[in-house]
Structure 1
Amino acid sequence: MWLPVVGVFLGVVIGLLTGVHIPAGYSVYITIAILAVLDTLVGGCKASLEKEFEDSLFISGLIINLFFALSLAFLGDQLGVDLYLAAVFAFGVRLFRNIAIMRRELLKQWKIK
Structure 2
Amino acid sequence: MIPIIGLVIGIAIGVVLNPDVPLWLQPYLPIAVIAALDAIFGGIRATLDGIFNDKVFVVSFISNVIVAAFIVFIGDQLGVGSQLTTGVVVVLGVRIFANVASIRRHLFKA
TM-score tier, shorter chain, comes to 0.7 to 0.9
Q: State the 4+ residue runs in structure 1 displaced beyond 4 angstroms.
A: none
Does structure 1 conserve the Cα–Cα contact (< 8 Å) formed by 2:32 and 2:66? no
Structure 2 unaligned runs (5+)? Answer: none
Structure 1 unaligned runs (5+)? Answer: none
1:79 is matched with: 78
Q: How many residues end up aligned between the 2 structures? A: 108
2:63 is matched with: 64
How much identity, in percent, do the aligned residues show? 38
Question: Any idea what the Cα deviations from partners look like across 1:46-71, whole Å, max 9, x if unmatched?
Answer: 10011011122212212221221111
In the TM superposition, what is the alpha-carbon distance from 1:13 to its structure 2 partner? 4.1
1:39 is matched with: 38
1:20 is matched with: 19
1:29 aligns with 2:51: no
- Taking the aligned partners of 1:10 and 1:59, their CA distance within structure 2 comes to 19
> TM-score if structure 2 supplies the norm length?
0.82
- Taking the aligned partners of 1:3 and 1:107, their CA distance within structure 2 comes to 25
> TM-score if structure 1 supplies the norm length?
0.80
